[in-house]
């Protein structure tokens, strides 16, 4: 069968259009694939990055420790501290103010009830979500009644924000160093079992109007608005509340 010149030209044009369409599809597909790789890579890297060396801690006994609270639940003074494990100011507060409070008689005598509140916000623009993963891991330690030891090892190993200090394998290594049941911990950690509890703490902070950490509330009132309270600030507020002034 003889093909006319007109039909040949038409066929050639159709072929060129098909080739151009295929090139466009391949280019778009390649671009989308590259975007997916860029977005996923940090998450994959975070899960595969070796634990490396880290600071170990020596577990200590705390008065009336229960979950993420310490002290007498019927105490006249209730302190709630909203913190992010990646927050440098939170580490400063924990190392200085919280440490002094734990060594005082306020808690051991049953006068003060102290509660840690999860407020992971530093990783809001990060793909690896180290604040949330640290909070997640701490709650899995809580499941084994070791929240406060895990709390201590997290702050002892705090590094640059979203810089890998709380990569998944490191968080798992922290748990192993504390002697936790790793089968139970890993199952809890991988399923993000306590995400609703963490979100509940976060929303509680939102309802109180906080926008930074640490935010310390004593009987529902923010202590030292605008700056991190010192131990003296906290002691003054506690004494006033115990005397009936707050």
* Per-chain mean pLDDT for the chain: 89
142, pLDDT greater than 60:
yes
* pLDDT, mean of residues 181-205: 98
Report residue 34's pLDDT band, with 50, 70 and 90 as the boundaries.
low
* pLDDT, mean of residues 200-218: 97
228, pLDDT greater than 90:
yes
pLDDT of the residue at 218:
98
212, pLDDT greater than 60:
yes
Give the CA diameter of the chain: 108
Q: What is the pLDDT of residues 39-90, one digit of tens each?
A: 555 555 555 656 679 999 999 989 999 999 999 999 999 999 999 999 999 9
Please give the Cα distance from 204 to 201 (Å, whole number): 5
Please give the Cα distance from 200 to 191 (Å, whole number): 17
How remote is the C-alpha of 57 from its chain's centroid?
20
More confident residue, 229 or 25: 229
Report residue 31's pLDDT band, with 50, 70 and 90 as the boundaries.
low
Six token digits for residue 75: 């105490």
pLDDT of the residue at 226:
85
* pLDDT, mean of residues 160-188: 97
pLDDT of the residue at 199:
98
What is this structure's pTM? 0.80
* pLDDT, mean of residues 178-182: 98
The label of the residue with tokens 């004593």 reads: 218
CB 147 within 8 A of CB 103: no
Please give the Cα distance from 76 to 112 (Å, whole number): 7
Please give the Cα distance from 215 to 207 (Å, whole number): 13
């Amino acid at each position: 069968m003889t093909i006319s010149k007109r039909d040949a030209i038409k066929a050639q044009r159709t072929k060129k259009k098909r080739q151009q369409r295929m090139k466009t599809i391949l280019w778009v597909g390649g671009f989308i694939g590259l975007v997916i790789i860029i977005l996923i890579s940090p998450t994959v890297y975070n899960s595969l990055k070796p634990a490396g060396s880290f600071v170990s801690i020596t577990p200590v006994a705390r008065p009336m420790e229960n979950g993420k609270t310490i002290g007498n639940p019927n105490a006249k003074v209730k302190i709630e501290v909203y913190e992010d494990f990646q927050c440098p100011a939170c580490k400063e507060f924990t190392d200085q103010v919280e440490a002094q409070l734990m060594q005082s008689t306020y808690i051991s005598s049953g006068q003060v009830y102290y509660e840690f509140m999860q407020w992971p916000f530093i990783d809001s623009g990060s793909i690896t979500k180290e604040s949330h993963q640290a909070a997640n891991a701490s709650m899995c330690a809580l499941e084994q009644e070791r929240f406060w030891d895990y709390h201590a090892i997290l702050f002892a190993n705090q590094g640059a924000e979203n810089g890998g200090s709380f990569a998944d394998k490191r968080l798992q290594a922290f748990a192993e160093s504390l002697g936790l049941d790793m089968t139970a911990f890993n199952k809890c950690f991988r399923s993000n079992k306590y995400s609703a509890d963490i979100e509940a703490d976060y929303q509680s902070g939102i309802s109180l109007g906080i926008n930074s950490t640490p935010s310390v509330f004593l009987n529902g009132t923010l202590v030292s608005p605008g700056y991190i309270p010192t131990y003296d600030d906290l002691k003054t507020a506690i004494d006033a509340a115990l005397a009936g002034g707050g």
